[in-house]
């Protein structure tokens, strides 16, 4: 019933997307789409990023250790 997409069809879709969103927003859309796919894959595989040991989640915006600041306030 439907034939597969070829090069002309893909170019037409790319041209329509370029006209709708503009050249300046395409990198932002691609970046957001890539992050969404990456997060979906992590969620589907069961990885939540907490066990990676990067330590980024233990510091606040000022770079202070959250655990030690909580201990001092107690």
Helix/strand/coil for 65: strand
Residue 51 has pLDDT above 70, yes or no: no
Model-level pTM greater than 0.75? no
Ordered domains of the chain (ranges, CATH): 1-45 (1.20.5)
Alpha carbon of 14 to those of 1, 9, 36: distances in Å? 24, 9, 20
Across the strands, what pairs with 59?
Answer: 65
Alpha helices in 22-65 (DSSP H): 26-45
- pLDDT, tens digit, 9 for 90 and up, residues 13-31: 989 999 998 988 989 989 9
């Amino acid at each position: 019933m439907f034939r597969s997409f070829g090069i002309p069809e893909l170019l037409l879709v790319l041209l329509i997307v370029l006209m709708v969103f503009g050249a300046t927003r395409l990198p932002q859309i691609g970046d957001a789409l890539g992050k969404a796919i990456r997060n979906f894959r992590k969620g589907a595989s069961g990885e939540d990023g907490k066990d990676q040991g990067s330590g980024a989640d233990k510091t606040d915006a000022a770079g202070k250790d959250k655990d030690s600041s909580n201990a001092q306030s107690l």
